Chain A
Amino acid sequence: MDLHNLNPSSLKSRFTTRFLRALTEINARKPIASSSSPREIFQRYRRIKDAADTSMAYSVRSRRTWSKATLWRLRTPSHRRRLASFGRRSSLNKTRTTTTASHRGAVVVQITSRGGGLGVQLEELRELVPGGEAMDLCNLLDETAHYIKCLTTQVQVMRTIANLYSLE
C-alpha cells in the first residue's frame, strides 16, 4: 500500500485506511436502506463509532495508555469489564476508586482526596481520557496531548468522509 502524497506511516494514513476498511465492512454487512428504523441507525452509529475508535487505537499500536484502554474497553464485554475493574480498583492509588459503567465512554472516577483546586479538573480529565484513572498528573498530561492529536486526526478524516458521503 503506497500513498504517494502522504507519509505512508503517518497516523492519518494509518487511521484512514483502517477506518475505511471497517466502514466498507459495516456497509457491506448491512447496506443502508432508506427505511431503516432509528434503532438500526443507532446500531450502525454505535458500530461506526467503535470502528473509528478501534482503528485509531490500532493506528497508535498500543504505545499509549489511552489506546490500550480503548482497545480493552471495546474488546472485553461489559460484564467481564466490571469484574476486571474490581481488580483494577485495588491496584489503583489509594486516593482514587473507579467504577466502570457499561457505557463505553462513561468511566466514573471518584477521587476521595486531592489537594488543591485542581482536583475537580483532574478528575474530569481522567474521566475523559481513556485509561487515565491510574496516572499521575505528569503522565496524564502527556496522554492528553497525544489523545488530543489523535482525536483531531480522527475528526478530520471522518468529517471528510461524511461530507463525501453526503454529496450523493
Chain B
Amino acid sequence: MEKDEAFMAEVLNRTASRQLTWNTEVLNCATEKLGNHFLNPNWDNSMDQSDPFESALSSMVSSPAASKVPVSGENVMMRELIGKLGNICNSGDASCYSTPLNSPPRFDLSMVNLLNHSTLVPFSADPGFAERATRFSCFSTGGDSGCFNGPLMDSFKLSCNQSINVNGSQNNKNSAMAGNSDSDKKNSGVSRSSSPENAESGVSKEESSVSQQIPSQNDAGTRKRKSIPRGKAKEIPSPAAADAKVASENDESNSKRSKREGAPSGNGNAKASNDGNQKQSKENSKPPEPPKDYIHVRARRGEATDSHSLAERVRREKISERMKFLQDLVPGCNKVTGKAVMLDEIINYVQSLQRQVEFLSMKLATVNPRMDVNMEALLSKDMFQSRGVLQHGIYPMDSSPAFPCGYHPQQGLLPLNNGIPNTTETQFSMKTQGFKLPSIDGFIDAHPQVGSMWEDDIQSIVQMGFGQNQPQSYQGSISTGQVKIEL
C-alpha cells in the first residue's frame, strides 16, 4: 500500500512536474480563475475552513506550474486521468457544463476541463488531499452555491475518490472515515460512502482499472468534446440538418463530397439559408420539379446529390459548352484539348486580331484615300461575299447619280474588259465609258455627300455589271483593286 501510494504519488508528481508549457499557462490561468471565481464566491461562507484548503490548493497548483519540463509518456497518463474526469463530467452532458457556466461569470468548456486538470493534479499530488477534499465537498454542500451541486460536484467527488483510491493509504482511509463521519450528516453521496470500501479493497485494482478505462474513455471524451463545438457551430437548424442528412444518405458519394462539405460549408450555410428548404427537398427526395425559377438539374447516377455539387456541375457544363463554341470560332483549335491550352489559343488569337486592327488602321492612316474607290470596292466586296446576287435595278445608269459613280467603276472595269470577254461586261464598260468625262467633276463636287448614297447606287451598278458573271467576275474584280476577298 505504501509502495503503491508512493509509486502513484511519484508518478503523478513527475507528471505534474513535467507539465507542458501550455499546461502550465493553463494552470496559471486556472489558478487565477480559481482564485477569482471558484474559491471566493463559493467558499465565502466557510472561510475558516477554506483558508487552509485554498492555500494548499494554490501551493499545489503552483508547484506543478513552477516546473515547465515537457513530458511524453507520463503526461499521457495524466491526461488520461484528466480525460476520464472530463468524461465523467461530460456524462452529465449539457447540464454538466451549464451549472458551472451559470453561476460564475465566464466559464468556458476549456476552463472546466482545465479546472478538472488543475484540480486533479494538486489533489492527487498531496497525500493529505483527501482530508481537504472532503472538507471541500463539505464546503460545497454547506455553502449551497449551486455551482457545486450537481454533476460537477459528483465529478469532484469521484475525482476525490479516485485520488483517494489511487493514493490508497491509511491516511486516505482515515481521512475517508473522517470525511464520512462528517459528511454523513450533510451529504448523502453514495460514492463517498463507498470510498473507504474501495480504498480497503484494493488500490492496485483501481489503478489498473482506471488506467485501462481511461484510454477508451478519453477518446470518447475528446470525441464528445469535439462534437459539442461542432454541433454548436452547425446549429443553424434546417440547412445544417440537410447537410448532415445528405452526408449520411450519400451512399454513392464521390470522394470529392467530403472536400466540398468542408470547403463550402460557409457558403453552404449562407446559401442554404436562402434556399435551404427547397434544395433540401431536392436533395432528399430527388424530385423532378425544383420550385419556380430554378434550373432543373438531375443528379446523375453515381454522383453526389449535394446541392453544391449540382450547382457546380451546371456551372462546369456551361463553361465547357462555351469553350466548345470558342473552339469553333478560333481556327485551328479542333485538335486542342484541355482548358489551359484552349485558353492559350484564344488569347493568342484575340491578340493577333487586335494587332491586325492596329496594323490596318496604320495602313489606312498612311494611304491616301480615294473615297470613290473605297465605296465601290467595298460594296463589291460585300457583293462578293453575299451568296445570292440579286439582279434587280439592272440599268440605273441613266439616272444622274450614277454618273459620278460610273467613273471609277469604269476604271476598275478596264482590266476586267481586257480580262473577260463577256458581252455584258463590254456593254457595261461601254456604257460607263460614255459617262467618263462629265462624271469627274460631278464626282468631286458630290464628294462630301457621297456617303450612303454612293453605296446604294454603286452597289446597284456594280451588281448589274457583275451580276451575270458572278463566279468569273469574282476574279476580275479582284484584279481591279487587287482585292483579296476573305471569306
Report how far A94 CA is from B393 CA in the complex, Å. 61
Q: Which of A5, A20, A28, A145 contacts B390 (CB 8 A)?
A: A5
Q: Which of B361, B365, B366, B386 contacts A5 (CB 8 A)?
A: B386
Report how far A148 CA is from B377 CA in the complex, Å. 25
Whether A23 and B319, one on each chain, are in contact in the complex, defined by CB atoms closer than 8 angstroms, is no
| Segment at the interface with B among A41-49, A76-84, A95-103 | A41-49
Whether A52 and B357, one on each chain, are in contact in the complex, defined by CB atoms closer than 8 angstroms, is yes
A135 within 8 A of B: no
Of residues 113 through 167 on chain B, the ones whose CB sits less than 8 Å from some CB of chain A are none
Q: B378 to chain A: which residues have CB within 8 Å?
A: 16, 20, 157, 160-161, 164
Whether B326 and A148, one on each chain, are in contact in the complex, defined by CB atoms closer than 8 angstroms, is yes
Of residues 438 through 471 on chain B, the ones whose CB sits less than 8 Å from some CB of chain A are 448, 450-452, 455-456, 459-460, 463
- Secondary structure of the A side of the interface? helix
Whether A151 and B357, one on each chain, are in contact in the complex, defined by CB atoms closer than 8 angstroms, is yes
B335 within 8 A of A: no
Whether B455 and A164, one on each chain, are in contact in the complex, defined by CB atoms closer than 8 angstroms, is no
B340 within 8 A of A: yes
Known contacts A138-B315, A148-B326, A164-B378, A48 near B361 by CB under 8 Å = yes
Whether A5 and B364, one on each chain, are in contact in the complex, defined by CB atoms closer than 8 angstroms, is no
Q: Which of A118, A122, A145, A158 contacts B360 (CB 8 A)?
A: A158
Chain A contact residue count (CB 8 A cutoff): 62
A112 within 8 A of B: no
A4 within 8 A of B: yes
Whether A41 and B481, one on each chain, are in contact in the complex, defined by CB atoms closer than 8 angstroms, is no
Q: A168 to chain B: which residues have CB within 8 Å?
A: 367-368, 370, 373
Q: A141 to chain B: which residues have CB within 8 Å?
A: 319, 322-323, 326
Q: Which of A5, A28, A118 contacts B340 (CB 8 A)?
A: A118
A-B contact list, 13 entries, CB within 8 Å: A1-B455, A3-B456, A23-B369, A23-B374, A34-B368, A125-B350, A128-B350, A138-B315, A144-B326, A148-B346, A151-B353, A161-B378, A163-B484
Apart from the given pairs A48-B365, A118-B340, A155-B360, 6 other A-B contacts in the complex at a CB distance below 8 Å:
A16-B378, A20-B374, A24-B369, A41-B365, A141-B326, A148-B349
